Chains A and B, each alone.
Chain A
Amino acid sequence: MSAIEDLLRQILWLPEPNSTFAPRVDQLHFFVITVTMIASVLTGLLAFFFFFKYRERKPRQSTPLVIPSVKFEIAVISVPLFFFLLWFVQGYKDYVWYTTPPENAMDVYVMAKKWMWKFSYGAEGPNAIATLHVPAHRPVRLLMTSRDVIHSFFVPDFRIKQDVIPGRYTETWFEATKPGRYQILCSQYCGTWHSQMWGEVVVMEGPEFDQWMLEQRKGALSARVDSGGDDGPAFHGSIVEYGKQVAMNQGCVKCHSLDGEPHIGPTWLDLYNKKEVLENGETVIADEAYLTDSMIDPRGKIVKGFKPVMPTYKGRLAAPDAAALVEFIKSLRTPGLEAVPSKEAIYEPAKPAQH
């Protein structure tokens, strides 16, 4: 069976299937394309055969009146419908599986901009441009956003693709099955050098990856000291570091303390996911949505006990800056309450579909 699959893969120019998702896609692909080929060639040949068999033998010949029976009508509707629905059901099942990351997935943040990919591994991890290191046989979830226009993260060898959109996070996940280097391509048109917005996934064996991670963390600390004060596109720190810098530049910390003391505004320490009581008596959870809203429309939902004095940052904060600020606020935790990195996810992982 696998020999046939390999042969088909070669005929169809498909890359090797190097993720857990790829074989699922390929199997359905083979089924659909085989039926498509057979149906279209048969139709063409049948028409050609009729041209020959029923060719004009004398001009103005009269022809019989051929009428469809009810059986024929039912057949031409139900046969294609059967195949189409079969493919839909299988395709959708696989898709739901693909959009449901396992709960133990390692999170990597992806930031796309014209025309490069940036990766960072949570608060403690290293950062990288263009190269994404991941372990084999462990699920990896990508939380992605863009700093300018829409891009799309595409790894043909894994059969995965997800648009990366400014102003919001999208996610995708994969589990690589074979160590190696696999190309990342941007597949959503994004301007002059769209066609060169490439990167690479480097898949390592698990232990090798853990070792690499340790070394990177040491290196990343010293690198961060070097890059202090650096801003904009060339920034090499993590998203959290970047968010901290935004907070400094924008003057947020003049009113919001980082140590738990209430000042002109509420403190940011342990703010994330805290239940806040508002002026009008309602309560809100200070989640990503509330935090972002409060930057754009600060007077919409004032926490009880504070004055509506904060100016709006609409137009002053670029979308990625706002996202970084949220990440920074999320990282401010009282020691002891510290969450493990994978729980800092933007989205809670959806529950797996029924098995």
Chain B
Amino acid sequence: MSQPSQLSTEHPDKPVIPAVNYLNADRGVWSWLTTIDHKRIGVMYLVSVLIAFLLGGIFAMALRLELLTPGPTIMGANTYNRMFTLHGVVMIFLFMIPAIPGVFGNFLLPLMLGAKDVAFPRLNLLSLYLYWTGATLALSGMIMGGTDTGWTFYAPYSTTTPMTLFPVLLGVFILGFSSILTGLNFIVTVHTLRAPGMGWMRLQLFVWAIYATSIIQVLATPVIGLTVMLIGIEKVGHFGLFDPSRGGDPVLFQHMFWFYSHPAVYIMVLPSMGVISEAIAAFARKNIFGYKMIAYSSLGIAFVGFFAWGHHMFVSGQSSLDNGAFAAISMLVGVFTAIKVFNWVATLYRGSIAVKTPLVYICGFLFFVVFGGMTGIAVATVSLDVHWHDTYFVIAHFHFIMVGAVIMAFLIALHYWFPKMFGRMYHEGWGMVAASLIVLGFNATFIPQFLLGNAGMPRRYYIYPERYQALNVASTAGASLLAFGFLIILIYLIYALVRGPIAGDNPWDSRGYEWMTTSPPPKHNFDVTPVITQDSHSYQEPGEEVEHVVI
């Protein structure tokens, strides 16, 4: 990756890549597969989740193509049903959940804490292997016959379908362990490996976000493991747990499933909020506005998120009283998110803003997270949900948060930390082009889906009434733009990896602690253990007098 010719000493001002860094300190495939270096594990997660994202994206495009016409277009009904299950399972369990914590959490958390590694480096490697095992199992199950239950596995459909289900369930079960171990590792790391001078109120906001996420991962994930195990037990042993014809209760399954899967949404969203806090501060050259409010609201979301699961079940026959309680609790999540949004926008105020590629995504993110978040409030409003439940409105809301917030944040993180991870810079012009295409394509894909939901098109429909065709065509057209944008990114990032200009240690002049070491960092992160003397995201020089503004 680093060639000796570029380490020329003739131009001392020219940025150089350190001769020995984590990427080349050990060589060979075996050194990667047995590494316990959190940075290498992060890079391997990056490659893995990108493959998962590519797969999930291909499935999504196949679905959108199928929906171009009201009747059968390119596949049969059973293939379509397997395809949306594949799309959901791959995107959620293989991409969304591990994406930001697995890649950027692993790579950056120790750097941001001034530590040499995570608390349990071997356990960290085990998490990655569990992820690979779970992913292989889930995907092989999909190939061997395929699962057609949707990623929600609702009983008694899932316990009675003749299709292959077991490998997928086992895969999800194992992926859960990967998630739990990562969360546990991060919690212990934040508690025990902070550098001298790093108090809790000096933690970077990305660390706070990952910390809150880890708590959810450790507490909620065991429940999904249990739930899929019970489905397996019912299917194999014919016990009546969820199937009413054997004395079980299908709604019980929904409670258990959403008790994990609602907090799981925050496992995906919270890290992305951490990324935004980091990037906004760096590109606006500003102390983050309302640090404590942002940090505590992460914990607030993590806590309240555990008590909102019932809003997925407003039309399931759940009692009206329960529905009211779950609706009221759901409103609180919206308030915590609103606090963060206000603080991000206020951070831009009177900054010195470098309009670079990540900023385009941030602008998109702010719109998407407000619209996606508030349509979440809309579907948590019980009477409105009666109409929208299980329609494309919910699909659009979910994708506004999952794609509009999480994938935008993933792309921001990828661009902001790319020079940190690989020491090279991507092409700014192409970055801008791709970012604009993606923001545009995203709107074109998902805004029509809100309208489809209003018009009453249910989700998971292979055949649909003709009146829904115009909006479906619009959505598919938007999805093609989106796919084209991702393709451009893939090309220029691969090019940058090999041929990109050398970035230097801190190309953004960021004050994040992770930039205190070289880019890419040495194998053990810091040659000298850093001592923290300033608050995080502080853009004042020590002793510098700056204007104080209270708004």
Give every chain B residue within 8 A of A55 (Cβ-Cβ). Answer: 352-355
Evaluate whether A189 and B539 lie within 8 angstroms (CB atoms) in the complex, with A85-B331, A194-B460 already known: no
Evaluate whether A54 and B546 lie within 8 angstroms (CB atoms) in the complex, with A154-B458, A190-B157 already known: no
CA of A98 to CA of B382 in the docked complex: distance in angstroms?
A: 10
Evaluate whether A191 and B546 lie within 8 angstroms (CB atoms) in the complex, with A88-B327, A92-B327 already known: no
B227 at the interface (CB under 8 A from A): no
Give every chain B residue within 8 A of A284 (Cβ-Cβ). Answer: none
Question: Per-residue 0/1 for A216-236: is the Cβ within 8 Å of any B Cβ (1 yes, 0 no)?
Answer: 000000000000000000000
A168 at the interface (CB under 8 A from B): yes
Give every chain A residue within 8 A of B465 (Cβ-Cβ). Answer: 183, 198
Question: Per-residue 0/1 for A157-201: is the Cβ within 8 Å of any B Cβ (1 yes, 0 no)?
Answer: 101111101111010000000000001011111111111101000
Contact B362 A63 (CB under 8 A): no
Contact B289 A68 (CB under 8 A): yes
Of residues 28 through 82 on chain A, the ones whose CB sits less than 8 Å from some CB of chain B are: 28-29, 32-33, 35-37, 39-41, 43-44, 46-48, 50-51, 54-69, 72-73, 76-77, 80-81
Closest to A83 in B: B377
Closest to B390 in A: A187
CA of A60 to CA of B511 in the docked complex: distance in angstroms?
A: 11
Contact B548 A84 (CB under 8 A): no
Contact A162 B244 (CB under 8 A): no
Give every chain B residue within 8 A of A214 (Cβ-Cβ). Answer: none
A306 at the interface (CB under 8 A from B): no
Evaluate whether A166 and B374 lie within 8 angstroms (CB atoms) in the complex, with A13-B454, A62-B540 already known: no
- Candidate in A14, A48, A64, A189 with the most chain B CB atoms within 10 angstroms: A189
Closest to B328 in A: A88
CA of A32 to CA of B359 in the docked complex: distance in angstroms?
A: 29
Minimum C-beta distance from A110 to chain B (A): 13
Contact B320 A47 (CB under 8 A): no
B78 at the interface (CB under 8 A from A): yes
Contact B345 A314 (CB under 8 A): no
Contact B284 A54 (CB under 8 A): yes
Give every chain B residue within 8 A of A95 (Cβ-Cβ). Answer: 320, 323-324, 382-383, 386
Contact B345 A165 (CB under 8 A): no
Contact B387 A65 (CB under 8 A): no
A262 at the interface (CB under 8 A from B): no
Contact A161 B383 (CB under 8 A): no
Closest to B319 in A: A99
Contact A187 B293 (CB under 8 A): no
Contact B352 A61 (CB under 8 A): yes
Contact A51 B293 (CB under 8 A): no
Minimum C-beta distance from A7 to chain B (A): 14
Give every chain B residue within 8 A of A47 (Cβ-Cβ). Answer: 345, 348, 362-363, 366
A279 at the interface (CB under 8 A from B): no
Closest to A55 in B: B353
Closest to B344 in A: A47
Contact A13 B451 (CB under 8 A): yes
Of residues 210 through 262 on chain B, the ones whose CB sits less than 8 Å from some CB of chain A are: 244-247, 249-251
Stretch in contact with the other chain, from B1-9, B180-188, B332-340? B332-340
Contact A65 B245 (CB under 8 A): no
Evaluate whether A161 and B287 lie within 8 angstroms (CB atoms) in the complex, with A149-B160, A186-B458 already known: no
Closest to A58 in B: B352
Evaluate whether A150 and B156 lie within 8 angstroms (CB atoms) in the complex, with A47-B345, A185-B458, A195-B464 already known: yes
Contact A76 B338 (CB under 8 A): yes
Question: Per-residue 0/1 for A83-96: is the Cβ within 8 Å of any B Cβ (1 yes, 0 no)?
Answer: 01101101111111
B437 at the interface (CB under 8 A from A): no
Contact B382 A43 (CB under 8 A): no
CA of A283 to CA of B154 in the docked complex: distance in angstroms?
A: 39
Give every chain B residue within 8 A of A24 (Cβ-Cβ). Answer: 383
CA of A35 to CA of B323 in the docked complex: distance in angstroms?
A: 24
Chain A's interface: helix, strand, loop or mixed, by majority? mixed
Give every chain B residue within 8 A of A91 (Cβ-Cβ). Answer: 327, 381-384
Minimum C-beta distance from A77 to chain B (A): 6
CA of A355 to CA of B286 in the docked complex: distance in angstroms?
A: 54
Of residues 350 through 405 on chain B, the ones whose CB sits less than 8 Å from some CB of chain A are: 350-355, 359, 362-364, 366-368, 370-371, 374-375, 377-378, 380-384, 386-387, 389-391
Looking at the complex, which one of B366, B546, B549, B550 makes contact with A62 (CB distance below 8 Å)? Answer: B546
Give every chain B residue within 8 A of A41 (Cβ-Cβ). Answer: 367
Contact A191 B157 (CB under 8 A): yes
Looking at the complex, which one of B157, B354, B367 makes contact with A43 (CB distance below 8 Å)? Answer: B367
Contact B315 A161 (CB under 8 A): yes
Contact B285 A68 (CB under 8 A): no
B471 at the interface (CB under 8 A from A): yes
A156 at the interface (CB under 8 A from B): yes
Give every chain A residue within 8 A of B317 (Cβ-Cβ). Answer: 162-163, 165, 168, 170
CA of A60 to CA of B386 in the docked complex: distance in angstroms?
A: 53
CA of A296 to CA of B248 in the docked complex: distance in angstroms?
A: 12
Give every chain A residue within 8 A of B462 (Cβ-Cβ). Answer: 194-195
Looking at the complex, which one of A77, A87, A99, A170 makes contact with B377 (CB distance below 8 Å)? Answer: A87
Minimum C-beta distance from A170 to chain B (A): 4
Of residues 309 through 326 on chain B, the ones whose CB sits less than 8 Å from some CB of chain A are: 315-317, 320, 323-324
Contact A76 B342 (CB under 8 A): yes
Contact B363 A87 (CB under 8 A): no
Contact A50 B353 (CB under 8 A): yes
Give every chain B residue within 8 A of A162 (Cβ-Cβ). Answer: 315, 317
A25 at the interface (CB under 8 A from B): yes
CA of A301 to CA of B103 in the docked complex: distance in angstroms?
A: 60
Give every chain A residue within 8 A of B157 (Cβ-Cβ). Answer: 149-150, 189-191
Looking at the complex, which one of B149, B316, B324 makes contact with A163 (CB distance below 8 Å)? Answer: B316
Pairs across A and B, CB under 8 Å, 11 listed: A14-B454, A36-B370, A51-B359, A56-B355, A60-B509, A92-B383, A150-B250, A170-B317, A183-B456, A193-B77, A319-B244
Top 5 nearest A-B pairs (CB, nearest first) are A167-B244, A156-B456, A44-B367, A91-B381, A94-B383
> B-side interface residues toward A, CB under 8 Å?
77-78, 81, 148-150, 154, 156-157, 160-161, 244-247, 249-251, 284-287, 289-290, 293, 315-317, 320, 323-324, 327-328, 331, 334-335, 338-339, 341-343, 345-355, 359, 362-364, 366-368, 370-371, 374-375, 377-378, 380-384, 386-387, 389-391, 451-452, 454-456, 458-465, 471, 509, 539-541, 544, 546-551
